[in-house]
Structure 1
Amino acid sequence: MTTTSTLPWFDDGDPIPDPTSVEFVRVEVARRVEAGDLDEATVIHEELAMWAAHRVRRGLPELSQAAERRLEEAVRGAVNGLGGLAPVLDRDRVENIHIHGCDQVLVECSDGTTARWPYSVAESDEALLELLGELFARLGHTSREFSSAHPIANMRIGAGGPLGSRVAAVREVCARPRVAIRRHRLAHATLDDLHTNGTLDDRLHAFLAAVVTAGLNVLVTGGPYAGKTTMLRALCQQIPAPEHVITVEDDYELGLHLDPHRHPLVTAWEARTAGAEGTGEITLDDLLKQSLRHSPSRVIVGEVRAGEITALLRALGNGAAGGMGTLHATSAAAVPDRIAALGQLADPPLPIAAAHRWTASALDLIVHVTRHDTPHGRHRTVAEIVEVGPVGDADIPDLTPLVATPPGQDRAVPIGPPSPGLLDRLIHAGLDPDVFEPPALIGGGRR
Structure 2
Amino acid sequence: MTAPAAVVVAPELMALLRGRVSDRLAAHGAQLSDTRRRAVIAEYIAEELLTYAGEIITAGRTPLSRQTEAALARALRDSFLGLGGLQPLLDDPQVEDIFVNGCDNVWVRTTDGRSRRVPPVATTDEELVDLVRTAAARSGQEERRFDRGSPGLSLRLPDGQRLFAVMAVSKRPSVSIRRNVLHQVTLDDLVDRGELTPGLRELVAAMVRARKNLVICGGTGAGKTTLLRAAAAAISPSERIVTVEDAFELGLDENIDAHPNTTALQQREPNLEGVGGIDMATMVTWGLRMRPDRVIVGESRGAEAVPMLLAMSQGNDGSMCTVHASSSKQALTRLAMYVMQAPERLTFDAANVLIGQAVDFVLHLDVATDGTRVLSSVRQVLETDGTQVPSNEIYRPGPDRRAVPAAPLRADTLDDLIAAGLPPDLLDQDRW
Above 0.5 in TM-score? Answer: yes
Tell me: CA distance 1:371–1:51, structure 2 relative to 1, closer, same or farther (3 Å).
farther
Q: More deviation in 304-313 or 339-348? A: 339-348
Give 2:23's match in structure 1, choosing from 31, 34, 49.
Answer: 31
Measured in 2, the distance between the counterparts of 1:114 and 1:235 equals 29
> How far did residue 265 of structure 1 move?
0.5
Residues 416 and 437, structure 1, Cα contact 8 Å, conserved in 2: no
Residue equivalent to 1:124: 124
Specify the SS of the correspondent of 1:225: coil
**Which of 17, 38, 43 is the equivalent residue of 2:40?**
43
Q: Tell me the CA shift for residue 43 of structure 1.
A: 2.0
Are 1:431 and 2:422 matched, yes or no?
yes
SS at match of 1:99: strand
The separation in 2 between residues aligned to 1:44 and 1:297, in whole angstroms, is 46
Q: Give the secondary-structure state (helix, strand or coil) at the position aligned to 2:263.
A: strand
Matched, 1:367 2:363: yes
What's the offset of the Cα at 1:27? Answer: 4.0
The 1-side partners of 2:10 and 2:181 are apart by 24
Residue equivalent to 1:153: 153
**Do the aligned partners of residues 230 and 59 (structure 1) sit closer, same or farther apart at CA in structure 2, a change above 3 Å counting?**
same
Among 377, 381, 386, the alignment partner of 1:384 is 377
SS class of match (1:383): strand
Alignment partner, residue 3 of structure 1: none
1:184 deviates by: 1.8
- Quote the residue 2:64 is aligned against: 60
Change (3 A) 1:270 1:77: farther
CA contact under 8 A between 2:328 and 2:362: conserved in structure 1?
A: yes
Output the CA distance in 2 between the equivalents of 1:421 and 1:151. Answer: 51
Q: Alignment RMSD, CA only?
A: 2.5
The residue that corresponds to 2:218 in the other structure is 222
**Aligned-residue offset at 1:284:** 1.0
Q: Is the 8 A contact 1:85 1:121 kept in 2?
A: yes
Q: 2 CA distance for matches of 1:19 and 1:425?
A: 64
- Name the CA shift for 1:22/1:326 in 2 (closer, same or farther; >3 Å): farther
| 1:69-124 deviations in Å (ceiling 9; x for gaps) | x7666544321362322222222111111111111111111111111112x22221
Does 2:85 match 1:89?
Answer: no
Q: Is the 8 A contact 2:199 2:430 kept in 1?
A: no
Unaligned runs of 5+ in 1: 1-10, 443-447
The structure 1 residue matched to 2:187, chosen from 187, 191, 194, is 191
Q: Which amino acid aligns with 2:296?
A: I
- For residues 199 and 133 of structure 2, what CA distance do their matches in structure 1 show? 48
Name the CA distance, whole Å, in 2 between partners of 1:414 and 1:16: 51
1:111-139 CA-partner distances (Å, limit 9, x unpaired): 11111112x22221122223323433553
> 1:411/1:299 Cα in 2 relative to 1: closer, same or farther (>3 Å)?
same
For the pair 1:275 / 2:275, whether they are aligned, the reply is: no
Amino acid of the structure 1 residue aligned with 2:353: R
Matches within 5 A, 1:38-437: 38=32, 39-50=36-47, 53=50, 54-55=52-53, 58-63=62-67, 68=70, 74-80=75-81, 82-118=83-119, 120-158=120-158, 162-163=159-160, 165-372=161-368, 374=370, 378-391=371-384, 395-406=387-398, 408-437=399-428
Aligned positions, number: 418
Work out whether residues 388 and 400 of structure 1, in 8 Å CA contact, stay in contact via their aligned partners in 2.
Answer: yes
